[in-house]
Amino acid sequence: MSDDIISYSSDKTHLSDKKGIVTSINTKDDLSAEIVSLRPNSFKEYIGQDDTVETLKIAIQAAKMRSESLDHILLHGPPGLGKTTISHIIANEMEKNLVVTSGPALEKGGDLIGILTNLGEGDIFFIDEIHRIPKIVEEFLYPAMEDFAVDFIFDKGIHARSHRYRLKQFVLIGATTRVGLLSSPLRDRFGLFRTLDFYSVEQLVIIIKRSAAILDTIISENGANELARRSRGTPRIANRLLKRVRDYSQVKSHGRVTRQSVQAALELEGIDGLGLTSLDRHYLKTIIDFYKGGPVGIEAIAATLQEETDTLVDVVEPFLLKIGMVLRTSSGRRASEKAYLHFKIKPSL
Ligand code: ADE
């Protein structure tokens, strides 16, 4: 187990040092105490992402054999697939501290330098949403990642002097939903880059059963299967919905989670048979009804829905693209035939 998990919030004057609990402004959902308790602590307990896990296990073992630290790691993929969980596991397996922050929390160079200069030898420094780091802060990361040093500049113009401060050799883990927004100098400084995929129904069934056991909840095979099918390929969603279904089953069906109790509980949550949320459905219906099936630009969809473009691109679209409900073309988004079928609407082609 790692000794400590230290988190840095948006309030830069406040440095919290808490054992086992991580809080961070932009990853509240991800890091709530309950989700942390369902999180696997080792790769042995971790289900899915087989290639990524294998790559990381080899890198960790090799680093340990050479008594070196790991290369910097960039993890890419939609929210909820395990980027944070994997960082916790790496820290545990390397028996090092994990220090957590996020791109938007690092507003000034000093915010980053304050963290870097406090890192110990081999510590794991996790930056969530690394694509949202301001450019001015990002520039301090380059020498930190490459030479384990930060350059302080004193005075301006001809009087400018710089002082190089040596850092301990740390491991940066960057997590991003949008690798395309990372500058190439930053991207190129990561030795390991992996994209996480959506989970299969079979993998989610195993995760749900494991979580149900931790939560002391009895779940039938059909119940686990139904919940897995409606979890958008995402363990975080599966674990969150499991809790709602557990509440429902406790009150309405003697505590046992069955296919029927999953169906009834998820109907109340507004989750349909494919696991689509009301935002997913609104997004698709906007393309179908408002823009006659598309093609339509993302900005136009966002304006019609009065939603942030980033939410649609990061949260809504990846799964809809994965299951073939929406198509991205050079002229914009189009609803697929599958989307029309889902809403029992005749395609207007
Ligand atoms: N809980 C959340 N994600 C998990 C995973 N990938 N394996 C096991 N349990 C999990």
pLDDT digits over 98-147, tens only?
A: 999 999 999 999 999 999 999 999 999 999 999 999 999 999 999 999 99
| Listed residues 148, 165, 195: the one ending a domain | 195
% of the chain exceeding 90 in pLDDT = 83
Domain shared by 229 and 249, yes or no: yes
Check if 234 has its Cβ closer than 6 Å to any atom of ligand 1. Answer: no
| Listed residues 217, 234, 268: the one ending a domain | 268
Q: What are phi and psi of 73, to 5 degrees?
A: -125, 135
Instruction: Please name the residue whose Cα sits nearest to atom 6 of ligand 1.
Output: 47
Domain shared by 152 and 248, yes or no: no
For helices 298-305 and 278-285, give the axis angle rounded to 10 degrees.
120
Q: How far is the CA of 235 from the centre of ligand 1 (A)?
A: 6
- Give the position, in ligand 1's atom list, of the atom nearest the Cα of 46: 7
Q: Which residues contact 112 (CB under 8 A, 6 or more apart)?
A: 106, 137, 140, 141, 144
Strands annotated E in 72-204: 73-76, 98-102, 124-128, 149-154, 161-166, 171-176, 192-195
CA distances from 98 to 73, 118, 126, 236 (A): 14, 12, 7, 21
- Can you give the pLDDT at residue 72? 98
Single-letter amino acid code for the residue at 5: I
Q: Which residues contact 84 (CB under 8 A, 6 or more apart)?
A: 27, 30, 31, 100, 126, 128, 175
Domain shared by 41 and 112, yes or no: yes
Half-sphere exposure of 183 (CA within 13 A, CB side): 12
Strands annotated E in the chain: 5-8, 15-18, 73-76, 98-102, 124-128, 149-154, 161-166, 171-176, 192-195, 326-329, 332-335
Catalytic residue selected from 236, 240, 246, 333: 236
CATH number of the domain bearing residue 36: 3.40.50.300
Domain shared by 162 and 62, yes or no: yes
For helices 135-147 and 109-116, give the axis angle rounded to 10 degrees.
30
CATH number of the domain bearing residue 338: 1.10.10.10
- Can you give the pLDDT at residue 277? 98
Q: Which tokens in the block code for residue 267? A: 């109907």
- Give residue-wise pLDDT tens across range 183-235: 999 999 999 999 999 999 999 999 999 999 999 999 999 999 999 999 999 99
On whether residue 347 sits in a domain, the answer given is: no
Domain shared by 145 and 288, yes or no: no
- Can you give the pLDDT at residue 175? 98
Query: How far is residue 242's CA from residue 251's CA, in Å, rounded to a whole number?
Result: 14
* Of 29, 44, 196, 207, best ligand 1 pocket probe by most atoms within 8 Å of the beta carbon: 207
On whether residue 317 sits in a domain, the answer given is: yes
Catalytic residue selected from 84, 101, 176, 234: 84
- Can you give the pLDDT at residue 8? 57
Single-letter amino acid code for the residue at 349: L
Q: How far is the CA of 121 from the centre of ligand 1 (A)?
A: 29
Catalytic residue selected from 27, 30, 52, 83: 83
Check if 40 has its Cβ closer than 6 Å to any atom of ligand 1. Answer: yes
Domain shared by 50 and 170, yes or no: yes
**Choice among 84-88, 148-152, 176-180 with the minimum mean pLDDT:** 148-152
CATH number of the domain bearing residue 235: 1.10.8.60
Domain shared by 190 and 244, yes or no: no
Q: Which tokens in the block code for residue 262? A: 């999953």
Domain shared by 161 and 219, yes or no: no
Q: Is 84 noted as a catalytic residue in this protein? A: yes
Q: Is 177 noted as a catalytic residue in this protein? A: yes
Domain shared by 159 and 81, yes or no: yes
Check if 336 has its Cβ closer than 6 Å to any atom of ligand 1. Answer: no
Domain shared by 13 and 131, yes or no: yes
Domain shared by 254 and 302, yes or no: no
Total tally of structural domains belonging to the chain:
3
Look at the block and give the residue holding tokens 């927004």: 181
Check if 210 has its Cβ closer than 6 Å to any atom of ligand 1. Answer: yes
Residue 88: pLDDT band with limits 50, 70, 90: very high
Catalytic residue selected from 176, 177, 258, 286: 177
Task: Give the residue numbers spanning the domain of 260.
Answer: 207-268
- Can you give the pLDDT at residue 156? 82
Q: Is 258 noted as a catalytic residue in this protein? A: no
Check if 275 has its Cβ closer than 6 Å to any atom of ligand 1. Answer: no
